[in-house]
Amino acid sequence: MPIKLPFLKNKSNTNIQNLRLDKELLPCHVAIIMDGNGRWAKSRGMPRIAGHKEGMNVVKRIVRYASDLGIDILTLYAFSTENWKRPKKEVDFLMKLPMEFLNTYLPELIEKNVRVETIGDFDRLPEHTKKAVQEAKDRTADNTGLILNFALNYGSRNEMIEAVKQVAKQVQEGEINIQDIDESCFTDHLFTADLKEPDLLIRTSGEQRLSNFLLWQLAYSEFWFTDVFWPDFDESYFEKALYDYQNRKRRYGGI
Ligand code: IPE
Ligand code: IPE
Ligand code: MG
């Protein structure tokens, strides 16, 4: 059964009335760099944190829609290892957001059979952030629907260095031979070990860079960029990204 694109249809006056998504061609794993919160707020004369708050509401909408569409994994870049450089006030606010998000939204996630996961260096997060996120992970651990994977204090280079250390330790302790180190062995030591690689990467706000996000895992993903700031992103853009994705030709180096 083809999936209609109700949001895109409502919003657009172009001739997209007949656009459909093919369920078979939906990406299994979508990763999003949710960027532009600060500029969105600034353009409205508001403090940057107002943009983060608004961005949180967009997260809810997109999670809901991704779950309804039957997407398997949604990875959201929420805080990078470089974002600690920001003013303390902004960092403190960002560290409170997961708790606020989960306070109001965890019951719906549970009802929707969503499983909350994280990637990143969990240890460095403040206690209150860890507690809220861990509770959500524990309470959704047996759910079998959408995997909602938050990249929190995540940095791809840090992830790879940690993986290299773990592999080196295994060699040192005689558990594996150097000859046994291959792509699959390395992949098994990344935060994403249990997750399929992203099929589609979306970045909002007009920037076209990875900002230390999933450098290894995105080797063959399709990229989709929009100038729209994250707080203005909605289901219609998500539909457009999925539609464009299903019309890409993935060759993986073949012909
Ligand atoms: C993305 O929006 C959210 C985080 C990085 C936490 P930004 O805060 O980077 O907003 P801009 O890019 O400065 O507009
Ligand atoms: C990437 O956005 C990180 C997140 C969205 C969490 P940034 O705003 O930190 O990236 P740069 O600094 O523009 O590359
Ligand atoms: Mg940014």
| Full DSSP string of 30-58 | EEEE---HHHHHHTTT--HHHHHHHHHHH
| pLDDT < 50 regions, the chain | none
Is 142 noted as a catalytic residue in this protein?
Answer: no
DSSP state letter for 198: P
Q: What is the pLDDT of residue 25?
A: 94
Is 103 noted as a catalytic residue in this protein?
Answer: no
- What counts of helices (H) and strands (E) characterise the chain? 8, 8
Domains and their CATH numbers in the chain: 2-12+24-159+199-246 (3.40.1180.10)
Q: What is the pTM of this model?
A: 0.97
Can you tell me which atom of ligand 2 is nearest the CA of 77? 6
Q: Which two tokens stand for residue 96?
A: 């409170």
CA distance 18 to 150: 34
Residue type, 181: I
Q: What is the pLDDT of residue 14?
A: 61
Q: Which two tokens stand for residue 161?
A: 């260095």
Q: Who contacts 133 (Cβ-Cβ below 8 Å, separation ≥6)?
A: 98, 102, 116, 118, 122, 125, 150, 152
How many degrees, rounded to 5, is the angle at CA 51 between CA 75 and CA 191? 20
Ligand 2 binding pocket includes 97 (Cβ within 6 Å)? no
Ligand 2 binding pocket includes 79 (Cβ within 6 Å)? yes
Closest ligand by atom to 154 CA: 2
Q: What is the pLDDT of residue 17?
A: 67
Q: Who contacts 68 (Cβ-Cβ below 8 Å, separation ≥6)?
A: none
CA distance 74 to 146: 7
- Write phi, then psi, for 237 (nearest 5 degrees): -70, -35
